[in-house]
Amino acid sequence: MAAIALLLTLSVSGCKQPDQPQLDQERSAQRNRRPREERSRAPRPSVERDQDHDVTPMEPVPANSVQVHYAPFENLERIDTDLLSQAHSTIDLAAYSLTDYAVAQALIGAAQRGVRIRIYRDATQAAGETAHAEKSAANPKKRASRDPEDDVPNDADSADILRRLSSTPNIAVRIKHSHTLMHLKAYAVDGAFLRTGSANFSPTGEKRQDNDLILFHNAEAAAHFTQDFDRLWSRPDNEPAQ
């Protein structure tokens, strides 16, 4: 029996037992490794672009360049307001639709800086925008049930956009008398930039519909537009904004 006990003692003592600190380190490493492996296998959440809250500054437009931007992937309202905010001397704007409050505010801000602004509108569209906004503002039920995709995002503000623009110093507004559409959505800034394209100056046109905005940083292109704008502006039957 003594011999057997001696052999067992020698056998146990001959097996190397890990130190307790080493065991603790290995267990800790296993616990830390498991979450990392699980996180690497987990699918990453998709990130959707919030166009209504895109506040990325507009990049400078190189001289003698052409840029094309597309809604709804890009927020065209941001591009318009940034460009209008950079005006120093003149803005000539031909607007079929003009219900975007941010664009209107950018125009008023430019006028308050001393920029001379001419706005040319389509008669039927301008009258329709004002009538629709006033009717919606006066009818709470209709206003509450209004389509969220409507071109008039805030009836109380939009009903007064044309009046506010026309009453602001340094802003002159004329309206085409004929019922043949004035369908331009374009403006020139300081004789250096020309903005054109399919996007109306409305929330849906700028941010939700499939539209393009073409921006020329080219004095010749801006001058060509201004020459045509002068012809529209000098029509003898143009009407003043009410």
Q: Tell me the average pLDDT of the chain.
A: 78
Over the stretch 106-124, which tens digit does the pLDDT of each residue have?
999 999 999 999 999 999 9
- Is residue 1, in this structure, part of any structural domain at all? no
Domain containing 124 equals 62-240
- Is residue 17, in this structure, part of any structural domain at all? no
- Pick the range with the lowest mean pLDDT from 4-13, 146-155, 228-237: 4-13
Query: Is the alpha carbon torsion for 134, 121, 108, 71 positive or negative?
Result: positive
pLDDT band at 32 (very low <50, low <70, confident <90, very high): low
Q: Is the pLDDT of residue 19 over 60?
A: no
Structure tokens at 242: 């009410």
Confidence (pLDDT) at 159: 59
Write the CATH number for 188.
3.30.870.10
- Is residue 174, in this structure, part of any structural domain at all? yes
- Is residue 48, in this structure, part of any structural domain at all? no
Pick the closest to residue 71 from 49, 104, 87 (CA basis): 49
- Is residue 205, in this structure, part of any structural domain at all? yes
Fill in the DSSP letter of residue 130.
H
- Most confident range (mean pLDDT) of 118-132, 146-160, 169-183 is 169-183
- Is residue 225, in this structure, part of any structural domain at all? yes
Over the stretch 212-236, which tens digit does the pLDDT of each residue have?
999 999 999 999 999 999 999 999 9
pLDDT band at 36 (very low <50, low <70, confident <90, very high): very low
**Mean pLDDT of all residues in 7-11:** 42
- Is residue 10, in this structure, part of any structural domain at all? no
- Is residue 7, in this structure, part of any structural domain at all? no
Q: Is the pLDDT of residue 64 over 70?
A: yes
Number of domains in the chain: 1
- What's the CA gap between 116 and 92, in Å, rounded? 8
- Most confident range (mean pLDDT) of 22-31, 136-145, 219-228 is 219-228
> CB within 8 A of 126, min separation 6: which ones?
98, 162, 175, 241
